[in-house]
Amino acid sequence: MRTLYSCLGALAALGILVMGDAAAQTASPPNLKEWFQEHDKNHDGKVDREEFYQGIIEIFYFRDKNKNGILTIEELQGVVSPEVVKAASRKGDNRLTLDEYVNALFRDFAAADTDGDGKLSFEEIDVYIRTNRR
Amino acid sequence: MRRGLDQCVAVLLLIVIAATACTTVQENPKTAIGGLGGAAFGGLIAAAAGGGGAAIAGAVIGGALLGGLVGNMLDQRDKRLQAEAAQKAFESSPAGKPVAWNNPDSGHSGTVTPVRTYQSNGQYCREYQTTVTIDNKQEKGYGTACRQPDGSWKIES
């Protein structure tokens, strides 16, 4: 099953890369480092699951324009394709609950965590983006 | 003799009351300090956002203890500015990004900073830190506000 990241080939789902940005196709998103530092709350050089989770919720909250607790295709427009939303949705519909959104992104977290320490280094995220970018 | 006994009883009572008050604050410092934010601007947030009377009353009750004391030191404009900053912070500020308020007339100022976001029963809640600076002395408080269906934010703790 394709996850949000791999479908995007980037961290677009986290809102730090706009899909279709041609300039970003061959390099890391320019604000990836900033995003990483911002979410590495304990400054240990890695983003752990809790830090990642907090980042996801914040993005979900700000993308949820009408604050109804659900993200629709319209609210994810320009970030993910409708197919990605349907794949991540348990009901296969055009909307994502926070749980569905979190689950999809944590599958990418696991895939990106190549050393299996339960945390993501900047390099792991960077490599994951480059490897999965389409 | 009787007068001496009365004095002893009065002193003992004062000690007991003082000790009880200290214990209450020390046992749960977060709750006590949290009241600073809650009672200080809890109701005002709801009011600023168009919340009804019940929401305002509930939010004020949600705050406690120090909130009333700090609230008394803020004038109406302070409270309005604080409430506006809180509404802006809860609604649109990312975690860790403070929204500041400042009243040049009173010289009072402060910040409201969301620190964590979560969902509870489909409702968005944000934990926050608030500061109030009065006479160059800064007080800090912590609390949680949850978004109501009408768009207002209610202080939960």
C-alpha to C-alpha distance for A26 and B126, rounded to whole angstroms: 37
Whole-complex ipTM: 0.74
Structurally, chain A folds into a number of domains equal to 1
Domain that holds residue B74: 29-155
Tokens of residue A75, six digits: 């609210």
* Interface contact A67, partner B, CB < 8 A: yes
CB contact under 8 A, A54 and B116: yes
Residue B16 covered by a domain: no
Residue B132 covered by a domain: yes
Q: Do B83 and B45 form a contact (C-beta atoms < 8 A)?
A: yes
Tokens of residue A97, six digits: 């609950």
CB contact under 8 A, A67 and B147: yes
The answer for A 82-121 residues in CB contact with B (under 8 A) is 98
Rounded to a whole number of angstroms, the distance from the CA of A97 to the nearest CA of chain B is: 9
Rounded to a whole number of angstroms, the distance from the CA of A57 to the nearest CA of chain B is: 7
Domain that holds residue A116: 4-132
C-alpha to C-alpha distance for B116 and B14, rounded to whole angstroms: 41
C-alpha to C-alpha distance for B117 and A119, rounded to whole angstroms: 21
Structurally, chain B folds into a number of domains equal to 1
**Residues belonging to chain A:** 134
Contacts of B86 (CB under 8 A, 6+ apart): B41, B44, B45, B99, B112, B128, B130, B145, B153
- The whole-number average pLDDT for the span A25-44 is 77
Tokens of residue B30, six digits: 């977060």
* DSSP character at residue A70: E
Each residue's pLDDT, cut to its tens digit, for chain B (157 residues) gives 555 555 544 444 444 333 333 333 333 333 322 233 333 333 323 333 333 333 332 232 233 223 556 667 888 888 888 888 988 899 999 999 999 999 999 999 999 999 999 999 889 999 999 999 999 988 888 889 999 888 888 888 7
Cβ-Cβ contacts under 8 Å between A and B: the total is 22
Output the domain CATH number for residue A35. Answer: 1.10.238.10
Residue B1 covered by a domain: no
Residue B76 covered by a domain: yes
